[in-house]
C-alpha cells in the first residue's frame, strides 16, 4: 500500500500535476488538502478515468479536503465527531455562529482508515483562529484516543497539512519563527498529545535530522534557499506503523511550472 498526502493549493490549477504524479509514483491512496473548490467543481471524472474513486468536501474557494483511492472507498465521514467550527465574525457580530469548515474527511480504503486533515493555520498567537486551532487539535486527539481504545489493532492514518513544525529541526530558522504560529509550545504540545495516544510520525525514521521539509513559502526565494518547514505528516496507528517499510518527501514536486507550495509525503506499508 502506497499512501500519500499533499496540500495541492487548488486542485483545478494543478490537476494535471496530480494525475501524472499518481501514475509515476504508483500511489494507491492520496489525501489532498486545500482543494479550493466546491464539490460540484471537483474533477471526479478525471480521477475515475485513471481508475480512482474520490470523496471530496468543499464548500467554496477556501480549504477543501479529498481522498482519492484505487483500492476502495467506503464509510465516508465529512468531519470527525465533535469537530469544532470557527466563527469568522468572532467579536464582530452577536448573531454569527461557528461553521464547521471543510477540513477533515475520512474513508476506509483497502482496510486502511484514512483521514485527510487540513489543520487550521492559527494566523497569529493572539488571533481567535489560534484558539480555534488548539481546540480543533484537542478534539482530534480525543477521537484518536477513542479509535485506538475501541480497536487497538485498527489501521488508521491521520494524513495531511498539520500547520505545525513539531521541533526546531523542522524549520529552517527557529529564531525566524519565534513568537509566531506553527512553532509555539501549545501547538507543539497539541501535536505531541496526538502522538502520545499511540500514533507515530512514520516518515521521521526514514528521513532523520534537520533540513527535511515539506513546505516552502512562495516569497523570498524560500525554496531555492532551502528555507522550508516540515508541516505535512502521515501519523500511523500502532498496527499501521508496524507495517511501514519506507517513507519520503517528493521534493521534486515543489519544482517546475506552477507548483504547490507543499511537496507530497509518501508512506509505504506492507499488507
Q: How confident is the model at residue 90 (pLDDT cuts 50, 70, 90)?
A: low
| Strand intervals (E) in 38-194 | 53-57, 65-69, 74-77, 104-109, 112-118, 156-161
The string of pLDDT tens digits covering residues 3-55 is: 999 999 999 999 999 999 999 999 999 999 999 999 999 999 999 999 999 99
Q: Count the domains in the chain.
A: 1
More confident residue, 95 or 73: 73
Q: For residue 235, list its beta bridge partners.
A: 158, 201
Verify whether residue 206 is a known catalytic residue: no
Range of weakest confidence among 28-37, 41-50, 203-212, 251-260: 203-212
Task: Give dist(CA 1, CA 30) in Å, integer.
Answer: 11
182 is in an annotated binding site: no
- Identify each DSSP E strand in the chain by its residue range: 2-7, 29-33, 53-57, 65-69, 74-77, 104-109, 112-118, 156-161, 200-201, 232-236, 244-249, 265-269
From the candidates 28, 56, 182, 262, give the one annotated as an active-site residue: 262
Euclidean distance between CA atoms 137 and 238, whole angstroms: 20
Rounded to two decimals, the pTM is 0.96
118 is catalytic: yes
**Tens-digit pLDDT profile for residues 130-145:** 999 999 999 999 999 9
For residue 97, what pLDDT band results from cuts at 50, 70 and 90?
low
pLDDT value for 94:
45
Known catalytic residue at 132: no
What is residue 89's predicted lDDT score, i.e. its pLDDT? 66
pLDDT tens sequence across 59-75:
999 999 999 999 999 99
- The percentage of residues in the chain with a pLDDT greater than 90, rounded to a whole number, is 93
Considering the candidates 28, 52, 118, 130, report the single residue annotated as catalytic: 118
Residue 224's domain comprises 2-269
Question: CATH number for the domain including 165?
Answer: 3.60.10.10
Which residues is 268 bridged to in the sheet?
2, 246
At 88 the pLDDT is: 72
| pLDDT confidence band for 92 (50 / 70 / 90) | very low
Answer yes or no: is 261 a known binding residue: yes
SS3 category, 118: strand
Tracing cell 452577536 back to the chain, one arrives at 94
Kindly report the average pLDDT of the chain as a whole number: 95
The answer to the question of whether 161 is labelled as a binding residue is: yes
Amino acid at each position: 500500500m502506497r499512501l500519500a498526502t499533499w496540500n495541492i493549493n487548488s486542485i483545478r490549477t494543478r490537476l494535471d500535476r496530480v494525475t501524472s504524479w499518481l501514475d509515476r509514483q504508483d500511489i494507491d491512496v492520496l489525501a489532498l488538502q486545500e482543494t479550493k473548490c466546491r464539490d460540484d467543481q471537483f474533477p471526479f471524472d478525471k480521477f475515475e478515468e485513471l481508475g480512482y474513486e474520490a470523496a471530496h468536501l468543499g464548500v467554496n474557494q477556501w480549504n477543501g479536503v479529498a481522498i482519492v483511492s484505487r483500492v476502495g472507498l467506503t464509510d465516508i465521514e465529512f468531519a470527525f465527531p465533535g469537530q469544532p467550527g470557527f466563527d469568522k465574525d468572532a467579536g464582530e457580530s452577536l448573531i454569527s455562529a461557528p461553521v464547521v469548515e471543510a477540513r477533515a474527511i475520512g474513508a476506509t480504503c483497502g482496510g486502511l482508515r484514512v483521514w485527510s486533515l487540513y489543520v487550521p493555520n492559527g494566523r497569529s498567537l493572539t488571533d481567535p483562529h489560534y484558539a480555534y486551532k488548539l481546540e480543533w487539535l484537542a478534539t482530534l486527539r480525543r477521537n484518536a484516543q477513542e479509535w485506538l481504545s475501541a480497536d487497538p489493532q485498527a489501521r488508521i492514518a491521520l494524513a495531511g497539512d498539520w500547520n505545525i513544525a513539531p521541533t526546531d529541526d523542522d524549520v529552517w530558522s527557529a529564531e525566524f519563527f519565534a513568537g509566531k504560529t506553527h512553532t509555539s509550545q501549545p501547538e507543539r504540545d497539541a501535536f505531541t498529545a496526538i502522538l502520545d495516544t499511540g500514533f507515530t510520525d512514520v516518515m521521521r525514521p526514514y528521513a532523520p535530522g534537520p533540513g527535511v521539509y515539506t513546505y516552502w513559502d512562495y516569497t523570498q526565494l524560500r525554496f531555492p534557499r532551502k528555507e522550508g518547514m516540515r508541516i505535512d505528516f502521515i501519523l500511523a496507528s500502532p498496527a499501521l506503523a508496524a507495517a511501514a517499510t519506507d517513507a519520503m518527501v517528493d521534493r521534486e514536486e515543489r519544482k517546475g511550472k506552477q507548483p504547490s507550495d507543499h511537496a507530497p509525503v509518501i508512506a509505504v506499508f506492507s499488507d
